[in-house]
Structure formats: structure tokens, C-alpha cells
Amino acid sequence: MKTYILSLGIILNGFHSDSDCSNWHKGNIHLADETVVNGEIRYCLDHDIVMLKNEAQTLTLSPVKVEYFVIFDNSLNETRSFYTLPYKGLNGYIRKKFFELLYHGKISLLNREEKMMIANHQNFNNLSDPTEWVLVDKYYVLDEYGEVTYFSGNTKDLLNHMQRHANAILTFIDDHQLDTSRREDLIAVLQYYNTLHNH
């Protein structure tokens, strides 16, 4: 799939203590030159690199070299897809980055796992470090024009991406008591928006 995705960014209500920088998964990488390589894959979105090893070679690749890659995550028992997309940072520069595709439509939902230091309350009463690094989910949206933008988790921020049907979307959110900071609810809103957009 060579389509772009508008980016919504949000921190998910949950943390991941395990980093996929150290976990290997079976999968394949589709390179920018249209070559496909299969093997064991691990990725590190924090550094925007993906690594592959098989009997023939070991590769470390940046988004510049990769169109997309697919892994089977045994811990989640599901297939996950990651795409290279251009993203404009706060400094105004556009760089290619890896984004996980969570939902695809006119407006699509993306995710990036990023490291964050949080307090570990279990360690406050002993000599251990009271803080720890964990992975958090941050959501983005990709529109049909290929622009990726960060989503704050605020409903008003979401409606800015859906101005054409903002009133209908707000009614849908209120009627179903949805929380746009939750992944499942966010996907439900995007699915509803895409049905409106198709009419």
C-alpha cells in the first residue's frame, strides 16, 4: 500500500516497559528500490531504525531505505505494519519517519512508540531508582493529501481535521460517550467520519 496517512498524535492511557529495540519478530521489509527481504526483524522507533537478520545477511536500515515493513508480534498475536512517511517537526524540517498503521481510510490513524521517564512508586521505599524508562503510544493522523500531524488527544483538535462534518462528529462522540484519548474510541470516530466523507 503506497498511500499516505494524516497524523493524529496522542499519548495512550498505558505504558509499555518492553522496548522492541530488543525483541525480534518474523517479518519482511519492502525496500525503497522495490526489493523485499525476509527474516527476523526488530525495530526502534525512538531512533527510527529497523534491523533484519537472516542466513544471508544482517541489515540496519533507516526510513530513507524502507517503504514499509511488516512483522508478526507474538506478544500481541497479531500482524503489525509500519510505513515510511514524511513528517514536519517543530523545527520546520521534514524528515522521513516510521509510523505504525492502526487504521486506514480517508483519514488514517498512526502510532509511534516513544520513550518517556515516569515515576515508579514501587521503588520509593527502597534503594532502587524511583524512575524508569517506558514506551508510550503517541497517535498521529494521515490525510488523503499525505500530511502527517500530531494529535493532542483533545476533541477540539480532532474536529479541526474534520471541519466538513464537525457537527455530526461531535454529536456522534456525545451520543456514544466516546473518549478520543482512547485508541478504540478514536478508531470508531475515524470510521464514522470516513462513512460521512464517502457520501
Q: Hey, where are the domains in the chain?
A: 11-152
Query: Which among 138, 140, 142, 121 has a CA at the least distance from the CA of 130?
Result: 121
All 3 cell numbers of residue 77? 498475536
Asked whether residue 62 carries a pLDDT value surpassing 90, the answer given is yes
> Which pTM was predicted?
0.81
Q: Radius of gyration over alpha carbons of the chain, in Å?
A: 18
Task: Work out the angle at residue 7's Cα, subtended by the Cα atoms of residues 77 and 93, and round it to the nearest 5 degrees.
Answer: 120
For the segment 132-166, what is each residue's pLDDT rounded down to a tens digit? Answer: 777 788 999 998 888 999 988 888 888 888 888 99
DSSP the chain: -----B----EEEEEE-S-TTS--EEEEEEETTS-EEEEEEEEETTTTEEEEE-SS-EEEE-GGGEEEEEEEETTTTEEEEEEEEEEE-TTS-EEEEEEEEEE-SSSEEEEEEEEEEEE-GGGTTSSS-SEEEEEEEEEEEE-TT--EEE--S-HHHHHHTTGGGHHHHHHHHHHTT--TTSHHHHHHHHHHHHHHHT-
**pLDDT tens profile 22-36:** 789 999 999 999 999
Residue 17 CA to residue 52 CA, distance in Å, equals 23
**What's the mean per-residue pLDDT of the chain?**
83
Mean pLDDT across the stretch 168-172? 94
pLDDT on residue 135: 74
Residue scoring higher pLDDT (128 or 70): 70
Q: Is pLDDT at 58 greater than 60 in this prediction? A: yes
77 pLDDT band (50/70/90 cuts)? Answer: very high
pLDDT of residue 11: 36
Query: What whole-number distance in Å separates Cα of residue 29 and Cα of residue 98?
Result: 12
pLDDT by residue (tens digit) across 86-144? 999 888 899 999 999 999 998 899 999 877 777 665 555 555 666 777 778 899 999 88
Burial (CB count within 10 angstroms: exposed 0-12, middle 13-18, buried 19+), residue 186: buried
